[in-house]
A and B are shown apart, each in its own frame.
Chain A
Amino acid sequence: MSRLSVNDLSLTLQGKRILNSVTMPEVSGGEIIAVIGPNGAGKSSFVKCLCNLYKHTGKICVDRTPITAASKKSFAKNIGYVPQTIGAGSHLQVSEMLVLALKADSLAWGVKQSDLLKMAEMLDRLHISHLQNKYCSELSGGQLQMVSLAQALITNPSLLILDEPTSALDLSNQLQTLALVRDYVDTPLPLPESHTPKKPIALVVVHDLNLALRFADKVMLLSDGELASFGALPDTLTPALIQAHFNVETELLYGSDNRPSLAVLRAI
């Protein structure tokens, strides 16, 4: 997927308007888009609509072609999704969770050697090889989040959707996780059938605006179910915009590496 855009997306759940005609301008492969907004703004709902978890109106376009009922399934296959609530779920080991991610919609019982190699590589890449034989119910929240990310990455998705992937992680793991996402979207996907290597796109719902500033290329600010702002970082995320939607006074500071970060001064 080299280009993705969303047009006029609306969602109503149980008579309540959750998203109102949200449009996301075209984003390209190699970009991380931070989806931000106050609580209840519709961030999670928006990414869930992309994952086809809710019945919504509006158009999602991949490479300028709208997704139809027929192309829905192949679009779903290209998505790597890390949901907000993970939970221990069922009685499965970490290795089984990863193999499951590769086999989920398969009817054949067998697991190929290549699938197992992918599993091993992914465990190694996320530094969770030591968890391979642990049952998910034995893992901490942060470890579960890493497993969930591994499940999403293992299929080499061209659209990575992460719903608050760092909520259960400590500072170092937050940075590592987003660096991993950064690295993932910067590397072209190994697609044998296409001649021009395509880079993946990542949509990341985050609460921490500093993480957005540090890792994302563009920001999408949702407020009250509507698109409040969309644009490149760091320029789009001005203290005035933040004050208008988050009700806090902030100041942009520049560190020794000349990168901006936000200092929250007070709530209004």
Chain B
Amino acid sequence: MTHSHSPTHTSSIDSQQQAWLTTSVAEYHQQSKRRLLLLAALTVLVVIAFLSDLYIGSQGLSYETFLQGLLHSEVAPGEINRRAVVIVWDIRMPSAIMAVLIGMVLAVSGAQMQTVLKNPLADPFTLGLSSAAGFGAALAIVLNKSFASYLPIPEAFFIPLNAFVFSLMTALLVSFAGIVKRLTPATVTLLGIATMFGFNALLTLVEYLASADQLQELLFWIMGSLAKASWLDIKILLVFMAISLPLIFINAWKLTAIRANEELARARGISAERIRVQVLILVSLLTAAAVSFAGTIGFVGLVAPHIARMLVGEEQRWFLPATLLIGGAVMSFTSLISKALVPGVLFPVGVITALIGIPFFLSLILSSKRNHWS
């Protein structure tokens, strides 16, 4: 065989080629810098959304009073504006923080469900987790039955705990059925959709049995609300995030590889099945915690990852933080809108996410020519 002998593995390369390589590497760094700036901009957006959310409320505070409350600043020597402090810190702060956290959790859960199941429609809703939580809450509200009755925990967790248990059980059931039966990602998604319809039917049945008052409470829960958020809820959610997020983040490269080409990833010795199950369990924990506190808030889990994907692509080192930030910002703005739409009236955030999210989402996907799910 005759063949030309170019310096394939050797490092002796001429200067022109060297210049080429330097340009190429510089371009990569440039790209990274652009994305870093974008993440910084998103962080600023979250902060703006959060502060605006904090500023708006039924008790109209002037800008000055708001700052007095927020900063505990002295209005007279040794005296602070106690009313402003109570409104900002005790009434508004928990739900404003909760909005950001819930947004982040739902977004990252949706993103990773889409990643490991390779399905652009996967999110806590379509996999039945939200419906299961809704059914769990309904049982507690209407039939007064909750897992919480068997545990020594505060009354406040009567409904959330039931929602959590049902949601988590569903997630684990779907995941384990996937492992035991060696199902493909598409089948796991279908299983989730079947579960969703099942729980929705059960939910309707319980609603049928409910009294008018119970129905009102249940409806409020199902439509999603941040109004009941407490500092304890926030702490619990933070614990869940502190456990789950690092375990997801550490697999950033493997997740990128599995999503890019699972066959190739497996040939490289990455156990795709194990990572899939591991990540599904982690995001199930996160979702279950989120919906049990805030009810079923749809759409953030679906929309935020898609926006992140369009902005920074799907390398998880960028995709994960971008998803978190976009989720936080979207939820925070939604909370703001739910209060500002009609002054004095608090709309359920779940409804707002859908009403605002759908047109926005449609315009995004219809204007995008790229198809990366084939």
Chain A interface (Cβ within 8 Å of chain B)? Answer: 51-53, 72-73, 76-77, 79, 81, 83, 85-93, 95-97, 99-100, 103-107, 109, 113, 116-117, 119-121, 123-125, 129, 132-133, 135-138, 151, 156, 179, 182-184, 186-190, 215, 217
Residues of A within 8 A of B315 (CB): 92, 96, 100
- 10 A-B pairs with C-beta separation under 8 A: A76-B268, A85-B263, A90-B259, A93-B31, A95-B27, A100-B257, A133-B27, A183-B3, A187-B5, A217-B1
- Apart from A100-B315, A105-B270, A124-B20, 13 more pairs, CB < 8 Å: A52-B266, A53-B263, A73-B269, A79-B268, A83-B263, A83-B264, A92-B260, A105-B257, A119-B24, A123-B24, A135-B372, A137-B371, A183-B5
CB distance from A44 to the nearest CB of B (A): 11
Size of the B side of the interface (Cβ < 8 Å), in residues, is 47
CB distance from A83 to the nearest CB of B (A): 5
Q: Closest residue to A113 on the B side, CB-wise? A: B25
Cα A42 to Cα B117 with chains together (Å): 28
Cα A205 to Cα B207 with chains together (Å): 61
Q: Would you call B268 and A184 a contact (CB within 8 A)?
A: no
Q: Would you call A156 and B9 a contact (CB within 8 A)?
A: yes
Contact with A along B331-374 (1 / 0, CB 8 A): 00000000000000000000000000000000000000011101
CB distance from B269 to the nearest CB of A (A): 4
Choose among B1, B27, B254, B257 the residue that contacts A182 (Cβ–Cβ < 8 A): B1
Choose among B10, B251, B268, B371 the residue that contacts A88 (Cβ–Cβ < 8 A): B371
Cα A105 to Cα B258 with chains together (Å): 10
- Most chain B beta-carbon contacts within 10 A, residue among A105, A113, A138, A151: A105
Choose among A76, A90, A117 the residue that contacts B260 (Cβ–Cβ < 8 A): A90
Chain B interface (Cβ within 8 Å of chain A)? Answer: 1, 3-6, 8-10, 13, 17, 20-22, 24-25, 27-29, 31, 250-254, 256-257, 259-261, 263-270, 309-310, 313-315, 317, 370-372, 374
Residue pairs across A and B with CB atoms within 8 Å: the count is 149
CB distance from B183 to the nearest CB of A (A): 14
Residues of B within 8 A of A124 (CB): 17, 20-21, 24
Cα A109 to Cα B261 with chains together (Å): 20
Cα A79 to Cα B265 with chains together (Å): 12
Cα A136 to Cα B31 with chains together (Å): 16
Residues of A within 8 A of B267 (CB): 51-53, 76, 79, 81, 83
Q: Would you call B371 and A89 a contact (CB within 8 A)?
A: no
Cα A116 to Cα B24 with chains together (Å): 8
CB distance from A197 to the nearest CB of B (A): 9
Choose among B253, B257, B261, B313 the residue that contacts A83 (Cβ–Cβ < 8 A): B261
